[in-house]
Structure 1
């Protein structure tokens, strides 16, 4: 009898003897399932589970038996979908192909056959990670499986490998797939995939409702999940480990996220090896099919694939256009309460703020102002009124700002209603320290109100500015479309400046466990603003209004490359008061473990094709039912 056949016999025998055996691993069920249950409508909420399980390294027999027991407990407790961690059947820290060779198997295979019976018995779905062997090529993959009542529904091969995987695994060789189930449309990503917005985005564009996320995370990948949920309107179920294996510590904090980025449930956090949590922790939450269609999911229909073609390009490692020298930049984000529609009053206010604050700040290199800096938003105003507030290139506002830039020898980004050939644009203008015009960006992703009066821009430019490096511009709602900052990153933007007028109508404040980040986020850090900086690996400055009748939430400031592991720290201003938020940064972090160069070198554009297709392939699963 071969190894696998012998194992199956032993496993079936162990199930018979299971009630009489002593469980060496303590299991705790963490019941958080009723705290944030969403109200039902046409469909009943579906109970789901995340199993924070810690496998024993190189002990698949033991791990599979324990996983079987944990899944069964979750199903007996009412869960219809349960997710367990990455490489849950074997452990993670294998050194090479030889080391993992005894533990790989085909999918479908003996392990999936075992869990198929369990899924069928409870009419439920199972997701977990395991090492896979391809029968034809003999390549190995870090894979996850989705098993349902009918058997193996699908598998996913991890696309973006971390160093540990790369010593033995080939990177995934296919796009992210979405599978129809009785619960809705389900896709899978694995661990490092979440550092690249493209994987979750592909799932969403293909119509996913739920993203199952097995991981072995030390912080980075689980911290990205609120953004992935908000960007794509997805429920996300993450299952992490909470102990240490061969010196690598995994922090737990498995979580269930709503399509709005709300944390519905979270498992215990383990800060370090001295505080390992070896026992299994299972958390519960609900996904509501009535909420599969939501405002964030609907935003996928507002994407501009014709602008994203650069996402398919792979220039590394020969990208000679990238900056080679880091620039030390002293920057300032101005936030103030606008007098809506009164350009002169707002110019006066901006002049006063700059004159007062620049005298306090040392050698300011860059100032960023909010969106439509001198009119404020023009929501509800007539087209004639908006037209009267517009200006041609290098109009009166340009002259006013040019004098300020030249006087203080500072680069400035500001926003205007631009007019050209009787068409209006929501534009951002970049001036250099000589007061010269360096370029403009016309907002490419318009909200419903802006569509009433504005023409969308047709490019995502990056500008080379002496003393700053390469700077990209976005405006407002552009941050809801990660492809925008992805294009700027591919064009090697060292910084991104984003004028906004944000009143909380999208995104929200960070809900990740604050202990995940070595340098903690400010209380009013905004999820999708942070996602721009980390996703593009470019320091990003946001300038927002504050107060006024529209309830602007301020929070202007700097979002950084990696506060999680202590490289830097976001800086935000008040959510209530006018102020200039000042900060310093070094534009390039060439020696850090993760940076823009490494991000771009490790992307897999071949499998991002759905993001640049000019077709809408989104199909809501609730509608399909």
Structure 2
């Protein structure tokens, strides 16, 4: 009987990712992000507590619950021998104890387990998905931070997506969200829901500045997984203080579990709390109703903007430890984002600061709000009136100035960003490669632009394109220091991350456009967007590479002509910098991102196979 049960579980695990096995999703379900606190190194006790928590969650009418990372062992271990007694196999003791509860209550749940591979003995940071009929599948963490690397082997599952009666579900773990690619892979494989399991920590208040450089908050990344990919995200993290009794080390967990809509809006959130010693067990169930099928249209729209032909081979290259594109010297840079009200162009009234990089609003010589036909009617060729005016502005003020215009090339019209240097010459041009639905008048361009300047490596984009994370990713792997991205009207999607998760003064919650903010953070670069002001809202902003800990997110004040900031290039790292970001990518999993939409490799991968086949 045990042998038959094991085989049945294995068949479920192997078949769960198959598109052929899809079950029509439920229309509306109650889902929950659960704050569960394990006792350090108490495997048996934590399993009992987890069973009790699942019983309680089931009693509350929840259909799918997400529990935190390493929920049956604790997280803070210093070496493999220390964590070894608290590892569990999958299937194993944890799944054996939970499955009867799920069968009785009808609950689906995913939970983080420090897993021992039964064949190799290696430890993995794993999340497992369980349902009323058994084990559905598991995921082993890809994005290993320095603490993970002390005890866990790199994940070897890729990013599987599992069919359930609720819809297709992907599992990710904590530091995975430092890399935009993993959530993107989940969306590309048809996920409606991403279950994200975390133990997001912060430096304990009062820590001296010299010791607090590692401060960060992983849970502060969760909004982008939903906003960029059009999926629901259920993000579970824990609260309390965890202490390793052997080493005396401690981690402070700040709470903040949250659930996000496919549009990138927050549906519910646990409080962000100060450090406090808490007893192990269930500490909060944060639940809301969602309709998983609502993700389909939005996810399809997001993915339709992708241009895989532009991503080959760049997004699949592993560039470590030596990268010739990386900046070799440190320098000062003054960044300026121009702000204009709705209406006429103020290009002739703009006064860039000498030596700065000043970015103008998009379609810089035209009035705002023109319909597509009027924009196309005003298109002009390269070296025409707009580029001459841009060069004259840069030369007059001895500055670098970026702006955009509708460029005519034969029958085609591009949305082109140009960068002029202090001598008035046009240093580089970029034709927008991922125009959004509002800019369909523009023919998509076919390459990015990176310009070497005394300020650093400057990339060119338009702000609307940054909703497609692959574009920012291309500039990240090219080791761009500053991305100049002219914007139009303010975006309706703002940063909705709880301000209590930020260590910087004047956090960006509620005022900063989300997609430029996310692109700067995900790719560890500075991003400057000149833009228009509409009422109290503005698209003029300067976005730093580490906005949670150290670099400001600056938006222009309502009556100001611009917003300015002086910084160092490349950005000074805190808990991560661009070099660490690029070094830490596991590009072998990114190959599907580079494949044409109709490729056999991509189709096989979406059906649960490998790309490339092996």
TM > 0.5: yes
Confirm whether residue 262 of structure 1 aligns to residue 246 of structure 2.
no
* Contact kept? 1:543, 1:557, Cα under 8 Å: yes
Partner in structure 2 of residue 283 of structure 1: 286
Correspondences of 1:156-171 after superposition (within 5 Å): 156-171=139-154
Which residue among 328, 334, 346 is the counterpart of 1:330? 334
Counterparts of 2:358 and 2:86 in 1: how far apart (Å)? 56
| Pair 381,558 (structure 1): closer, same or farther in 2 beyond 3 Å | closer
Which residue among 500, 503, 507 is the counterpart of 1:521? 507
Shift of residue 187 of structure 1? 0.4
Confirm whether residue 109 of structure 1 aligns to residue 92 of structure 2.
yes
- Find the residue that maps to 1:224 and give its secondary structure: helix
| Pair 228,184 (structure 1): closer, same or farther in 2 beyond 3 Å | same
Confirm whether residue 459 of structure 1 aligns to residue 447 of structure 2.
yes
Task: List per-residue Cα deviations over 1:460-513 (Å, max 9, x = no partner).
Answer: 221111x211011111321111110111010000111111113435xx122211
Which residue among 482, 486, 493 is the counterpart of 1:495? 482
Counterparts of 1:279 and 1:206 in 2: how far apart (Å)? 33
* Contact kept? 1:336, 1:577, Cα under 8 Å: no
Task: List per-residue Cα deviations over 1:201-257 (Å, max 9, x = no partner).
Answer: 110110001111110102532111111111011111111111111311111111111
With 280-289 and 551-560 compared, the bigger mean Cα shift is at 551-560
Confirm whether residue 415 of structure 1 aligns to residue 404 of structure 2.
yes
Correspondences of 1:607-622 after superposition (within 5 Å): 607-615=589-597
Counterparts of 1:512 and 1:72 in 2: how far apart (Å)? 31
Which residue among 495, 504, 512 is the counterpart of 2:497? 512
Partner in structure 2 of residue 606 of structure 1: 588
Counterparts of 2:491 and 2:356 in 1: how far apart (Å)? 29
Counterparts of 2:365 and 2:129 in 1: how far apart (Å)? 53
Counterparts of 2:444 and 2:288 in 1: how far apart (Å)? 40
Confirm whether residue 397 of structure 1 aligns to residue 386 of structure 2.
yes
* Contact kept? 2:457, 2:480, Cα under 8 Å: yes
Correspondences of 1:350-389 after superposition (within 5 Å): 350-354=347-351, 358=352, 363-376=354-367, 380-382=371-373, 385-389=374-378
Shift of residue 44 of structure 1? 4.0
Counterparts of 2:73 and 2:240 in 1: how far apart (Å)? 14
RMSD: 2.2
Confirm whether residue 88 of structure 1 aligns to residue 71 of structure 2.
yes
Correspondences of 1:173-188 after superposition (within 5 Å): 173-188=156-171
Per the normalisation by structure 1, the TM-score is 0.85
Confirm whether residue 195 of structure 1 aligns to residue 178 of structure 2.
yes
- Find the residue that maps to 1:89 and give its secondary structure: coil
Confirm whether residue 536 of structure 1 aligns to residue 527 of structure 2.
no
Counterparts of 1:394 and 1:191 in 2: how far apart (Å)? 49
Counterparts of 1:137 and 1:428 in 2: how far apart (Å)? 53
* Contact kept? 1:333, 1:368, Cα under 8 Å: yes
Which residue among 233, 238, 241 is the counterpart of 2:238? 241
Shift of residue 537 of structure 1? 0.2
Counterparts of 2:565 and 2:490 in 1: how far apart (Å)? 23
- Find the residue that maps to 2:446 and give its secondary structure: coil
| Pair 169,46 (structure 1): closer, same or farther in 2 beyond 3 Å | same
Shift of residue 85 of structure 1? 0.6
* Contact kept? 1:556, 1:573, Cα under 8 Å: yes
Which residue among 316, 319, 332 is the counterpart of 2:320? 316
* Contact kept? 2:26, 2:166, Cα under 8 Å: no
Task: List per-residue Cα deviations over 1:125-163 (Å, max 9, x = no partner).
Answer: 111101111222221100010001121100000001111
Structure 2: runs of 5+ lacking an equivalent: 1-24, 202-215, 244-249, 607-614
Which residue among 531, 542, 566 is the counterpart of 1:558? 542
- Find the residue that maps to 1:393 and give its secondary structure: coil
* Contact kept? 1:129, 1:145, Cα under 8 Å: yes
- Find the residue that maps to 2:520 and give its secondary structure: helix
Partner in structure 2 of residue 23 of structure 1: none
Aligned residues: 555
* Contact kept? 1:85, 1:214, Cα under 8 Å: yes
Counterparts of 1:364 and 1:553 in 2: how far apart (Å)? 28
With 286-295 and 317-326 compared, the bigger mean Cα shift is at 286-295
Confirm whether residue 424 of structure 1 aligns to residue 409 of structure 2.
no
Partner in structure 2 of residue 38 of structure 1: none
| Pair 386,509 (structure 1): closer, same or farther in 2 beyond 3 Å | closer
Counterparts of 1:276 and 1:421 in 2: how far apart (Å)? 70
